[in-house]
Amino acid sequence: MRIACIPGVVAALLLLACGGGGGGATDGAGAADAAATDETPAGAGEEAADEVAPEPGPADAPPEAAPPPEQCLALKEGRNAKFVANGVERELLLNLPPDVESKGPWPVVFMWHGFVGDYDMTADFAAVFASYVDDAEFPFILVTPRGQSVFPNWDVLEVFADEPNDDIALFDDLLACLDARFGVDADRVFTSGFSAGGILSDLIGVLRGDVIASVLTWSGGYLGNPANDTGFNVTWPKDPPGSGYPQAVIAGGANDQYMGMVHFDQFAANDVPYLNRSGHDVVRCNHGGQHTIPFGFQGRQALEFFKAHPRGTTASPWATSGLPADYPKYCEFKGKE
């Protein structure tokens, strides 16, 4: 994997390249590249007892208890350790706008890193967005969680809509705590990620599409798309994402792959029509730079996409206006069917 802007992390970047059922990713800000560079009324009586229960879907997952108030109050700028979700202690990095305590509610951007083994690369990946949290027009809270040490860092290979998932629980609890602690703009919750983290962002789209506003992935993939073959044993919810959120799908051409088995460029080619058929507008970018976050599409371009696509966007404004002037020529708009 390659992260374009962070020197001296070649080994870590190689680990990132192993990301997510597939590879690592490189960041537009170079943080990801530096980190991974060159990488879901009772009591009816006897008739009800004879009915066949429907197959569980995302909404049928057992409800989770709210995170304890003290855990939410403890959230702070910088490194946060021992955040418990689904019974597991997790770590994360928070980047906050300067006036986070006095203003709000705030947009929230999640950034999920690529596979890095047991290395802590949260700061490298956070760097893709961190310098923009105090943007005058679009200040936001940036959340960069740390994956667990087992391959591929994120709980994306065996996912059952009716069973708890460590990383979906982490997303839910962090969002609840950020709202309790600082106030969250419910129409501006965004998820992004690279490689394995991109796959997790896609999974959040499937399971929490009613919560997120839009999705952006570098070298991600919908493992529930029948056209996508990972080379691994994978179980995902059968239904495609249905809430219609817009998505940016960014991949690096024929060499955007992991071990010759996971081809992220092919995932991107398969996922665009998959999303279009399910009612999602897509910005498709093929940068040709292999498994990385390219310099031409990093934090600034990602935030332009988020700003233009809050929750409830039924038709992208870019369908008529075209893409922003600073978007690379390798990006194109693909409208939903």
Residues 294-319 pLDDT 10s: 999 999 999 999 999 999 998 999 99
Q: Residue 160: how many CA atoms within 13 Å on its side-chain side? A: 6
What separation in angstroms does the CA of 233 have from each of 175, 198, 208, 241?
30, 18, 23, 21
Q: Is the pLDDT of residue 31 over 60?
A: no
SS3 284: strand
Confidence of residue 143 (pLDDT cuts 50, 70, 90): very high
Long-range contacts (CB closer than 8 Å, 24 or more residues apart) made by 285-288: 285/248, 285/249, 285/250, 285/251, 285/327, 285/328, 285/330, 285/331, 285/332, 286/250, 286/251, 286/252, 286/253, 286/330, 287/250, 287/251, 287/252, 287/253, 287/328, 287/330, 288/252, 288/253, 288/330
Predicted confidence at residue 26, as pLDDT, reads 36
**Per the structure block, which two tokens stand in for 280?**
């999602």
Residue spans of alpha helices (H) in 186-325: 196-207, 264-277, 299-308, 318-321
Q: Is the pLDDT of residue 42 over 80?
A: no
101: exposed, middle or buried (C-beta count within 10 Å: 0-12, 13-18, 19+)? exposed
Q: Is the pLDDT of residue 36 over 80?
A: no
CATH number of this structure's domain 2-39+71-334: 3.40.50.1820
Confidence of residue 65 (pLDDT cuts 50, 70, 90): confident
Q: Is the pLDDT of residue 62 over 50?
A: no
Predicted confidence at residue 117, as pLDDT, reads 84
Q: Report d(CA 212, CA 255) in Å as an integer.
A: 30
What separation in angstroms does the CA of 171 have from each of 21, 85, 112, 215?
20, 9, 10, 14
Q: Can you give the residue ranges of every domain in the chain? A: 2-39+71-334
Amino acid letter for position 171: F
Mean pLDDT of the 73-82 span: 96
Predicted confidence at residue 25, as pLDDT, reads 35
Q: Report d(CA 279, CA 269) in Å as an integer.
A: 16
Predicted confidence at residue 218, as pLDDT, reads 98
Q: Is the pLDDT of residue 49 over 60?
A: no
The 10s digit of each residue's pLDDT in 223-264 is: 999 999 887 789 998 888 888 999 999 999 999 998 788 899
Mean pLDDT of the 145-163 span: 92
pTM over 0.85: no
Of 27, 7, 25, 32, which is closest to residue 258 (Cα–Cα)?
Answer: 25
**Per the structure block, which two tokens stand in for 124?**
């490298």
Min mean pLDDT across 17-21, 71-75, 281-285 is at 17-21
Predicted confidence at residue 12, as pLDDT, reads 30
Predicted confidence at residue 186, as pLDDT, reads 98
Higher-confidence position of 2 and 147: 147
Determine the longest span between alpha carbons in the chain, in angstroms: 68
Confidence of residue 64 (pLDDT cuts 50, 70, 90): low
45: exposed, middle or buried (C-beta count within 10 Å: 0-12, 13-18, 19+)? exposed
Confidence of residue 19 (pLDDT cuts 50, 70, 90): very low
3-state DSSP: the chain helix, strand, coil percent, rounded to 5? 25, 20, 55
pLDDT > 70: percent of the chain: 81
Q: Is the pLDDT of residue 198 over 60?
A: yes
Write down the mean pLDDT value for the chain. Answer: 84
Predicted confidence at residue 314, as pLDDT, reads 85
Confidence of residue 77 (pLDDT cuts 50, 70, 90): very high
Identify the sign of the CA torsion 216, 245, 141, 90: negative
By the 8 A CB rule, do 144 and 225 touch?
no
Q: Is the pLDDT of residue 24 over 70?
A: no
